[in-house]
Amino acid sequence: MNRIKTVCRQCGQAFLAKSELAGRSMPCSACGKPLVIPSVATKPRQPFPTACPCGKQFMAKPELAGRSMACPSCGHSFIVRPVGKPQLAPDALSQPTATGSSMQLPEQPLAGPTLPPHSGRYATMQGPGTTFLDRMGTRRLLIVCGSIAGAVFVLLVVAIGIRSVLRPKPRVTLAAFAGQPAPKPEPPFQLTRPSLPSDTFEGVELSGVSAEVLASEARGRAQEGEYRPAVQLQAWAVERGDGGYYDLACYYSRTGDVEAAMYWLQEAGLEEGVDGDWARDDPDLRAVRRDSRWKTMVRYLDQCNAYWVTSGVNSTAVVTPNGYTAGEPITVLVGLHGLGSNPEDFVDGMQEAADACDLAFVGISGTIPRGKSSYVWSDDPKENAQRVASGLQEVSDRVRIDPERIILYGFSQGGLVAAELVARHPDRYAGAISLSSGGNELLLDEVTPTELLKTRGVVCLCGAEEHPLTLRFTSRIARWFESAGARVQHKTYPGMYQHTFPPDFYEKLPEWVAFILGK
């Protein structure tokens, strides 16, 4: 029977799943969190849809699969891979399907020692067979162990509940870091930079591929549990770009190369900024956290975090349509990036869309800086509202914004912030495009809808197979605005499981803008 290599993105457990489970959402056998079993890999036999990171989609010949080519739109090189969810292999379609409740655990995990088969008996009970007393003894043992485990579980739940009440998670706000700027910390360890891996990958010379494409391909390999290829691709992404250190540290950690992981984690602290709380729980860094230097390292990450948060750095980015006359009022899409990103990454590549829609894109950095070019949004909606207002003021010398035609569009954490700001300030914004929202606590229930919201438009979008929390946030935002009387478009994209922009973003953008503006 064919098996599919699967890795849980939550806990990192790797195992082999039966081929008939391909494409289905199942609970992880280790942590219980939902995961999607990847489809059986097949070589395309006919032209297939692919897409460049610039957003251009087109059909590619079968022989180009996995190879590097120049995008016919932007000219940058990228690795050709099918867009969307791969189709199941023909033999998998004829096999019986399974439901989440009947999922069978993998027979042979990829990680950890493999015990010899023992027909359901303990290895110490191997022999010609078991007697009635053997079976009863085993049954009693299971009952006793189950009772003990149940009692321990209840105690843990109670303890966690009490701890949650007594020690709630602190909200991430600028106010929490008020005071004098933190000093720039010194790296605690003298570490040697790992040597650069080979620049040849599956017949492709990585030195000729852009950093963006390499990083994207590395993420894809990591999601499939292929961490050594991910290291090679990400190392070259770092070599050719100016970031990606934390991801590289994670991939090295997954391969067991703790020394290399420590080097890039230390570099990420000051160059990119790392959320120490995230690093403490990140499953990708398990191997690093077992190292004796971890406590010193995470303390350094916290110091770097405090340094950047109090640095006061921020940034904005503007893209106007070709031929735009300075001083002419124009519709503006205000881009609110996702967790840890920046406005340049969020609006770069929007020139074609700006020309097609005759509007300007303004990217605004998140409220809280995490590094040279990394920002997050505050848990306090008031701080976010102030940051967006300040950002629009910062670009006033580059573009004249029509105050009646300001639309917020945000992705992930930025998507949630966009929805929150329109709900609280319908007098400032015409509406929002909320893409795959999540990352912060949703505080819409605190808002009392106003009559003005009935004239506003909101578009809520995400993949039908994204993380359940993303689906839940997107649905809650749509329902809240519907109950407030706003015009709402809510769509989940079938087969879309990656946390990314929807595949028809550029095609549908003019339609969404017209909907929000009531045209």
- In order, the DSSP letters of 466-494 are S-HHHHHHHHHHHHHHHHTT-EEEEEEET
Looking at residues 380-387, what average pLDDT do you find? Answer: 96
Q: Which part of the chain is CATH 1.25.40?
A: 175-309
Which helix (H) or strand (E) covers residue 180, if one does? none
pLDDT of residue 220: 86
Q: Per residue in 288-312, pLDDT tens?
A: 999 999 999 999 999 998 899 888 8
pLDDT over 90 percentage in the chain: 52
Q: Which two tokens stand for residue 174?
A: 């600028």
Looking at residues 251-272, what average pLDDT do you find? Answer: 96
Return the C-alpha torsion angle 497, 509, 337, 23, nearest 10.
0
pLDDT of residue 224: 86
The DSSP-derived string for 264-297 is: HHHHHHHHT---HHHHHH-GGGHHHHTSTTHHHH
pLDDT of residue 159: 46
Q: Per residue in 493-504, pLDDT tens?
A: 998 888 889 999
Superfamily holding 316-517:
Alpha/Beta hydrolase fold, catalytic domain (3.40.50.1820)
- Judged against a pLDDT cut of 90, whether residue 162 lies above it is answered with no
pLDDT of residue 497: 84
Rg over CA atoms, the chain: 25
- Judged against a pLDDT cut of 80, whether residue 505 lies above it is answered with yes
pLDDT of residue 383: 96
- CATH topology assigned to domain 175-309: 1.25.40
Q: Which residue has the higher pLDDT, 103 or 420?
A: 420
Q: Which part of the chain is CATH 3.40.50.1820?
A: 316-517
Tokens 């438009």 belong to residue: 457
- As a whole number, the mean pLDDT across the chain is 78
Judge contact between 201 and 280, C-beta under 8 A: no
Rounded distance, CA 423 to CA 385, Å? 11
Looking at residues 158-179, what average pLDDT do you find? Answer: 49
Rounded distance, CA 465 to CA 316, Å? 32
Pairing of strands 48-51, 57-60: antiparallel
- Judged against a pLDDT cut of 60, whether residue 141 lies above it is answered with no
Rounded distance, CA 374 to CA 194, Å? 24
Judge contact between 49 and 83, C-beta under 8 A: yes
Q: Per residue in 203-254, pLDDT tens?
A: 899 999 989 889 989 988 998 899 999 999 999 999 998 789 999 999 999 9
Judge contact between 381 and 413, C-beta under 8 A: no
Q: Per residue in 385-444, pLDDT tens?
A: 999 999 999 999 999 999 999 999 999 999 999 999 999 999 999 999 999 998 777 889
Largest CA distance in the chain: 90
pLDDT of residue 157: 40
Return the C-alpha torsion angle 91, 92, 95, 101, nearest 10.
170
Question: For 138-267, where are the E strands, in sequence order?
Answer: 200-201, 204-205
Rounded distance, CA 17 to CA 19, Å? 6
Q: Per residue in 59-75, pLDDT tens?
A: 666 666 655 566 655 55
pLDDT of residue 459: 98
Burial (CB count <10 Å: 0-12, 13-18, 19+), residue 71: buried
Looking at residues 438-467, what average pLDDT do you find? Answer: 91
- Judged against a pLDDT cut of 70, whether residue 48 lies above it is answered with no
pLDDT of residue 72: 58
- Judged against a pLDDT cut of 70, whether residue 115 lies above it is answered with no
Looking at residues 143-152, what average pLDDT do you find? Answer: 48
Judge contact between 231 and 222, C-beta under 8 A: no
pTM summary value: 0.63
Rounded distance, CA 386 to CA 381, Å? 9
Q: Which residue has the higher pLDDT, 472 or 87?
A: 472
Rounded distance, CA 414 to CA 437, Å? 7
Q: Which residue has the higher pLDDT, 40 or 77?
A: 77
pLDDT of residue 519: 80
- Judged against a pLDDT cut of 70, whether residue 508 lies above it is answered with yes
